[in-house]
Structure 1
């Protein structure tokens, strides 16, 4: 039988590879892997998943910073709101029974995977992957190359941080499936900058959630450390293959796997 730390590292490597190949939203599969692969409860799996996704996202964000595509002011603002909201989500997670929490996660997982399927189908048809941009309160100042900070812009980014922080604490998800569509809708940033900025937000919000979980004594470091280490290794390894493997067809495959995982989670929850 494979010892738990080695199994955790292997499962973490899968999540890192998914993140590299599918984008920031792929980390939502971390919790189902921990539940089915290591037998953790939802409350136990959430902070472990966040630790792995946060570390992998931090690597991606640092690479984005080196390329100059991270909008670090916007990322810091969204993350500040998210870090403040995450403990509220964590508190709710500990008040809810495991069954309703798992069903809530399954609904969010199906939503995230449905968005991934829609994005992939648009790419295959040659359309903008996240649809037409109609409402953009945050636009770049062409003279300065920075976002124009207006009240509608701050309000839109604050709501994005609030929702991603609550989901981070409640369900252990990084929130990329929330942040990327929001930045695409509210800003005129290029997609490469949107993804890199989203990774920076995920890294910062996840750090806050992991600290809260550690203080609350609910972080399983014996599982979390190898799982997170495996995620970073998987991310770095898969980045070398991303240009050849990543694409809408692969996103459709991972989205289908995610929907199947959500259905299995529902069946497991209702059957117990």
Structure 2
């Protein structure tokens, strides 16, 4: 089983490095459905992986690939929301969390399949950008704590649609926000439960390596290709997650 965990870590890390999202939305269902761990353990492991892999994946994008004012605004706004989401997580049943997971992924995936209008090169100068960034941070932080994911599958569409950010910069900015929110949520999750250290290491280390390699490759790809790949990935995982969850309830 350890080899399965390592393989999953490589896949998840590669996807996170390519599109700045997808780590948690793959990690949680995969760890629950394939490895057989509990949702709580899967979420804790996913958050640790998200912090480590996103930190690695953002390295090739540090020079010009991150909108730092937006990243800080969204990340800081998301910290209290992540703590609130973690508290709410313990009150909800596991199937409800996974189904909510799937619904959100479908909405994000469908929207990202549609062509985006031209993006401003300086979204921090966009009117009301700070208010919009704070709202994005609150929403993403809540999802991070509630579902145990970095939130990239919501952050990337939000940055492109609401702040008119170019796709490649949205991916780099998303990775920084993932690090901030996932770290806050991970600390909160550790306060209410434990962490399977061997599982987390076997999953996280391969994910870090794969994310760095994939991120160096992704900076050479066109933004539209990354957008379509992101959308298709999210929709596929959403369908599998919801079908699996409903089948277990029947």
Q: TM-score, normalised by structure 2?
A: 0.85
d(CA) in 2 for partners of 1:13 and 1:175? 19
Q: Distance in 2 between the 1:106 and 1:269 partners?
A: 15
Structural mapping, 1:1-272, within 5 Å: 2=1, 4=2, 6-21=3-18, 23-27=19-23, 28-65=25-62, 67-116=63-112, 118-119=113-114, 122=115, 130-131=116-117, 140=122, 147-148=124-125, 152-239=128-215, 242=218, 243=220, 250-251=229-230, 254-271=233-250
**1:210·1:219 contact (CA, 8 Å) conserved in 2?**
no
Larger Rg: 1
Shift of 1:266: 2.6
Q: Residues 270 and 73 (structure 1 numbering): CA distance in 2 closer, same or farther, change over 3 Å?
A: same
Cα deviation for residue 240 of structure 1 reads 5.8
Relative to the length of structure 1, the TM-score reads 0.79
Judged with a 3 Å threshold, the aligned counterparts in structure 2 of structure 1 residues 147 and 267 are, in CA distance, closer, same or farther, namely closer
String of CA shifts for 1:215-267, please: whole Å, max 9, x gaps: 32333222122211121122233346545896567556534531342233333
- Per-residue deviation at 1:56? 1.4
Q: CA deviation at 1:163?
A: 0.6
In 2 relative to 1, CA 248–158 (structure 1 residues): closer, same or farther, beyond 3 Å?
A: closer
CA contact (8 A) 1:169 1:209 kept: yes
CA, structure 1 residues 106+36, in 2 after alignment: closer, same or farther (shift >3 Å)?
Answer: same
Residues 109 and 35 of structure 1, relative CA distance in 2, 3 Å threshold:
farther
Cα RMSD after superposing both structures: 2.7
Give unmatched runs, 5+ long, in structure 1.
Answer: 123-129, 141-145
The alpha-carbon distance between structure 1 residues 36 and 220, as it changes in their structure 2 partners (threshold 3 A), is same
Distance 1:24 1:90, change over 3 A: same
User: How far is 1:208 from its partner?
Assistant: 1.2
Cα distance, 1:178–1:131 mapped onto 2, change above 3 Å: farther
Deviation (angstroms), 1:38: 1.2
Gaps of 5+ in 2: none
